[in-house]
Amino acid sequence: MKTIEELELKMAQPSDSLVKDMETIDGDILILGVGGKMGPSLAKLAKNAVTKAGISKKVIGVSRFSNQHLREELEGEGIETISADLLNDEELKKLPQVKNMIYMAGNKFGTTGNEHFTWAMNAYLPGRVAEHFKTSRIVSFSTGNVYPLNHVLLGGTSEESLTGPIGEYAQSCLGRERVFTYFSHKYKIPMVHFRLNYAIDLRYGVLLEVAKSVKEERPVDLRMGHANVIWQGDANEMAIRSLLVCQTPPEIINVTGPETVSIRWLAERFGELMDKKPLFENEENSTALLSNASKSHKLFGYPNVSLREMVEWTAEWVLSDGLTINKPTHFQERQGAF
């Protein structure tokens, strides 16, 4: 893949499993925070699955839409859009009631120095949303950051493990889960806490950052020497399909790829594909932020896009100077400061 059009077509291509599940999902789908990194591709994927299934179902995206071009793009794909500031109670109360809601609103980068806003978005707002959508199924995007770092030999933290968020961003994300869980108990709202890390889009993500370092002959930082990754299209598909496994109290699902990926190994593979010798700095720690996603693989199957495919696509993208989004993952961060 070398163009934005090819990339977006790939991410919005529904599998047969998603199309079948879309036929089973009862009611329209509302996506709160559709303007974020993953929202547009998730909305397009959902709409394409509806179309391929040949059913009548609305896909509605809600965002402030500071980018008017994005709103026009989504509407051009048949996705209804609503402009709203979710922290404005009057605007929130005007949102239509739907049977299915995917909650993607939140704040991560810029937390340091602006912690109060992150807590408002990640922990206060979910309560207001749950009050309004008390009759909906809710899939709430969360993060593997709610877990502590764990030893790389243990295969990642599973849903049965205790949480242990490091830093205010991760703490506020656990706050989001706890607040949603309270309202799930109070109103019997079926929910899923969708603990994701790290979604790969060729324009951003862990693989892009490592590939760019190799191409530009900058040292690759090995302090966080291992990571999990999943193709964004696969993560979006699992989020939509999660609407069928919502429960009260909420179902918790780790979502990522099956591998514990060595950052050193990644850099060496990119070096081979780019004819570069990767440079390294620091040494691998014995712990990393890793999730065991075997539960999601049992529910939805293994990701459709393999790690090797992601590596090859990313190398091709970087070598052809493909467009990138200036939003570093900070996956090397070990103290939780974002």
CATH code at position 89: 3.40.50.720
User: What pLDDT shows up at residue 331?
Assistant: 86
Q: Which domain holds residue 251?
A: 4-201+229-258+289-303
Whole-angstrom Cα distance, residue 195 to residue 138? 14
Q: Residue 124: inside a domain, yes or no?
A: yes
> What are the residue ranges of helices labelled H in 158-204?
167-187
User: What pLDDT shows up at residue 336?
Assistant: 78
Whole-angstrom Cα distance, residue 267 to residue 220? 7
User: What pLDDT shows up at residue 151?
Assistant: 96
User: What pLDDT shows up at residue 1?
Assistant: 77
CA distances from 31 to 79, 85, 104, 208, 221 (A): 10, 14, 7, 27, 36
Q: How many domains in the chain?
A: 1
Q: Residue 333: inside a domain, yes or no?
A: no
Residue 237: CA count within 13 A, CB half-sphere = 29
pTM: predicted TM-score of the whole model, two decimal places: 0.96
Token output for 321: 């100077």
Residue 118: CA count within 13 A, CB half-sphere = 20
User: Residues of the chain whose pLDDT is less than 50?
Assistant: none
Token output for 133: 């959508």
User: What pLDDT shows up at residue 94?
Assistant: 97
Residues 6+ positions from 176 with CB-CB distance below 8 Å: 106, 122, 123, 126, 140, 142
Note the Cα 113 to chain centre separation in Å: 24
Please give the backbone phi and psi of residue 251, each rounded to the nearest 5 degrees, phi first. Answer: -80, 140
User: What pLDDT shows up at residue 93?
Assistant: 97
Q: Residue 214: inside a domain, yes or no?
A: no
Residue 95: CA count within 13 A, CB half-sphere = 35
Q: Residue 224: inside a domain, yes or no?
A: no
For residues 98 and 61, the answer to whether their CB atoms sit within 8 Å is no
Tell me the sheet residues that pair with 144.
none
Residue 208: CA count within 13 A, CB half-sphere = 23
User: What pLDDT shows up at residue 254?
Assistant: 98
Phi-psi region of 336 (alpha: psi -120 to 50; beta: other; left: phi over 0): left
Q: Residue 263: inside a domain, yes or no?
A: no
As a whole number of Å, the end-to-end CA separation of the chain is 31
Q: Residue 83: inside a domain, yes or no?
A: yes
Q: Residue 265: inside a domain, yes or no?
A: no
Rg (CA), the chain: 19
User: What pLDDT shows up at residue 2?
Assistant: 77
Q: Residue 95: inside a domain, yes or no?
A: yes
User: What pLDDT shows up at residue 71?
Assistant: 97
Note the Cα 117 to chain centre separation in Å: 20
